[in-house]
């Protein structure tokens, strides 16, 4: 068939959903509202979300009269997530750590089954909104001090549990930390319909106006939003997770949370997680990502880190490609230091953070209502001490989750943070 239209954008849908063209390439498995899966056990009721190679659905577990989340994954791209979740359920080391308090802070696999040769369904608890979305809804994009500390401690506990099981998360950030939704599993079907309404759908069409093939869903479904509670979170999305003794050569993280060793193409290990914890703690304290999420490329990130942390290790610098090193050397970078950077971001002092760009031209600063400060300068200095270890060029210097938990416990007693 030749239509003159590229296959990658042949199909479209008029609502905010996953790319319908992904159903042609096998990235997604077609799931239909009301369909019953796994020998009549799970009935699809609503859509919860989607990712690059997965869709997530709310389903009724007919055997247990409860509501669960079904994550339908492409095993060619998401096999690692299933492997890690299975390890956390069935391995001897996971059994040895079954009573670890951090187990509660990591999503647990409830069931799994195959949908096709290349697609598997992971049965998981229904969760609420992610941490980033929750923070974006708050004044100044940050949680209250007590809540932020509680989240930090729970995530550190969850990470400690993963490490005790020999697993590094590999992609820990505020979109992969979700609030729990403990009320959802026990709701009846009538209550689900009353609370969330009918699913919103959009028809799939071809740009050349020809009929869609039978393999393409006739419609796609807009996800619903579940707020969840305000107290408990879990770490999710283990698609980039790896075993400590078998680290990857590369990780597909968002640029603004990439560990520096990843940016500099240096060997990776489990300590990328501690960098991620530093970025997450910074975000919980300030309401802002450690590195600007609008920095959309590797060079910008490398330059930005130099302005906060100073010069990278010489061997890393020497390993840079010539064009990257030339750009790095020829760009004016204002060295601010981590403590000053933390203070300015906590106070959301954009006039000091963004007074000039790289060419020395003035930048327009948008005015907005800022949150009232809850930390004193002394308290910020204590937090900066923790961050200076976590956000280090040297991976081994970042410490471990159990060391971080001890620090957070101390702050809990002194600052009423992370109690």
Binding residue numbers for ATP = 71
Q: Give all strands of the β-sheet with 127-130 in edge-to-edge order.
A: 127-130, 177-180, 233-235
Contact criterion met (CB below 8 Å) for 276 and 170: no
Q: How far apart are CA 46 and CA 198, in angstroms?
A: 8
Token couple for 232: 């408990």
Q: How far apart are CA 89 and CA 81, in angstroms?
A: 12
State the residue for tokens 């489990």. 270
Count the neighbouring beta carbons within 10 Å of the beta carbon of residue 210.
Answer: 12
Sign of the CA dihedral running 302, 308, 310, 316: negative
Q: What is the dihedral of CA 244, 249, 253, 258, to 10 degrees?
A: 90
Token couple for 18: 């996953």
Q: How far apart are CA 283 and CA 226, in angstroms?
A: 22
Binding residues: 71
Which residues, including other chains, have CB under 8 Å from residue 20's CB and lie 6 or more apart? 11, 12, 13, 204, 216, 217, 220
Q: Identify the three-state secondary structure at position 124.
A: strand
**Rg, C-alpha atoms of the chain:** 23
């Amino acid at each position: 068939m030749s239509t003159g239209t590229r296959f990658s954008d042949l199909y479209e849908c008029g609502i905010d959903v996953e790319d319908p063209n992904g159903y042609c390439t096998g990235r997604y498995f077609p799931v239909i509202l009301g369909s019953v899966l796994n020998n009549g056990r799970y009935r699809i009721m609503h859509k919860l979300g989607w990712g690059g190679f997965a869709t997530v659905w709310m389903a009724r577990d007919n055997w247990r009269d409860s509501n669960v989340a079904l994550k339908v994954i492409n095993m060619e791209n998401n096999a690692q997530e299933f492997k890690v979740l299975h390890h956390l359920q069935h391995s001897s080391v996971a059994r040895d750590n079954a009573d670890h308090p951090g187990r509660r802070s990591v999503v647990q696999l409830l069931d799994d089954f195959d949908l096709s040769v290349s697609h598997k369904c992971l049965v998981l608890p229904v969760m609420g909104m992610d941490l980033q979305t929750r923070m974006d809804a708050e004044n100044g994009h940050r949680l209250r001090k007590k809540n932020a500390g509680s989240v930090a401690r729970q995530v550190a506990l969850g990470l400690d549990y993963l490490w005790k099981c020999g697993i590094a998360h590999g992609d820990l950030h505020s979109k992969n930390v979700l609030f729990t939704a403990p009320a959802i599993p026990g709701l009846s079907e009538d209550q689900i319909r009353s609370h969330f309404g009918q699913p919103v759908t959009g028809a799939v069409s071809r740009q050349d106006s020809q009929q869609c093939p039978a393999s393409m869903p006739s419609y796609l479904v807009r996800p619903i939003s579940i707020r969840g509670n305000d107290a408990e979170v879990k770490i999710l999305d283990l698609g980039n997770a790896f075993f400590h003794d078998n680290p990857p050569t590369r990780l597909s993280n968002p640029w603004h949370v990439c560990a520096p060793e990843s940016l500099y193409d240096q060997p990776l290990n489990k300590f990328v997680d501690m960098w991620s914890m530093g970025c997450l703690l910074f975000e919980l304290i300030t309401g802002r990502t450690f590195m600007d999420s609008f920095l959309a490329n590797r060079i910008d990130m490398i330059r930005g880190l130099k302005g906060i942390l100073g010069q990278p290790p010489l061997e890393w610098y020497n390993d840079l490609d010539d064009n990257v090193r030339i750009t790095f050397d020829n760009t004016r970078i204002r060295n601010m230091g981590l403590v000053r950077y933390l203070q300015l971001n906590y106070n959301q002092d954009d006039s000091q953070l963004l007074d000039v760009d790289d060419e020395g031209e003035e930048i327009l600063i948008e005015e907005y209502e800022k949150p009232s400060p809850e930390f004193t300068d002394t308290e910020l200095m204590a937090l900066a001490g923790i961050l200076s270890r976590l956000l280090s060029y040297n991976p081994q210097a970042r410490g471990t989750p159990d060391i971080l938990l001890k620090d957070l416990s101390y702050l809990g007693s002194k600052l009423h943070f992370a109690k």
